[in-house]
Amino acid sequence: MLRGDSPMIALTGKGALDSLLSLMWLLLCVVVIIVLAYLFTRYVAGRGGGPLGASGSTERFKVLARLSLGREQSAALVRVGERYLLLGIAPSGVSLLAELTQEEAEVLTAPPPGQPAPPSFGEALRTVLKQKKPR
């Protein structure tokens, strides 16, 4: 090797073409994987996404409130049709803790007296955007 020679070998001809084709193939594979992942999530969301639906509720079945009780335990107040159920949720399964009346469920889900209801996401976003100073 001469003093002025670089230890790097310049890619010319066939080597450059092979590298370019490998890069294009890799980019194509990444795009295909992203498109397939998107289509799969749309498919799952369209099917309901599981036992609770894509959003965790439907018109007849809705989670009204949820309280974490520990690392993997929680309690959930669920409306099923006209019934209100307090469920205990743990890795070992789901158990019925109590069946509540509509009045009891409304008391549990209502905000405390004297405290306004939290703003919706849209209202909170508008408030933050209004507070942001223009550049």
* pLDDT value, residue 51: 46
* pLDDT value, residue 10: 54
- β-partners of residue 78 are 63, 85
Confidence of residue 3 (pLDDT cuts 50, 70, 90): low
* pLDDT value, residue 46: 67
Q: What is the pLDDT of residues 10-65, one digit of tens each?
A: 556 788 888 899 999 999 999 999 999 988 888 777 665 444 444 455 678 888 88
Q: What is the pLDDT of residues 67-101, one digit of tens each?
A: 899 898 999 999 998 899 999 999 999 999 999 99
pTM of the model: 0.45
Q: What percent of the chain has pLDDT over 90?
A: 33
Q: What 3-state DSSP class applies to 18?
A: helix
* pLDDT value, residue 57: 54
CA dist 85 and 46 (Å) reads 27
pLDDT surpasses 60 at 5 = no
Residues sharing a CB contact under 8 Å with residue 85, sequence separation 6 or more, in sequence order = 77, 78, 79, 96, 98, 99, 100
Neighbour tally for 15: CB within 10 Å: 11
* pLDDT value, residue 91: 93
* pLDDT value, residue 15: 82
Which whole-number Å values give the CA distances from 12 to 1, 15, 24, 28, 76, in the listed order? 19, 6, 17, 23, 65
Q: What is the DSSP code (8-state) at residue 61?
A: E
CA dist 53 and 43 (Å) reads 12
- Token digits for 107? 């008391």
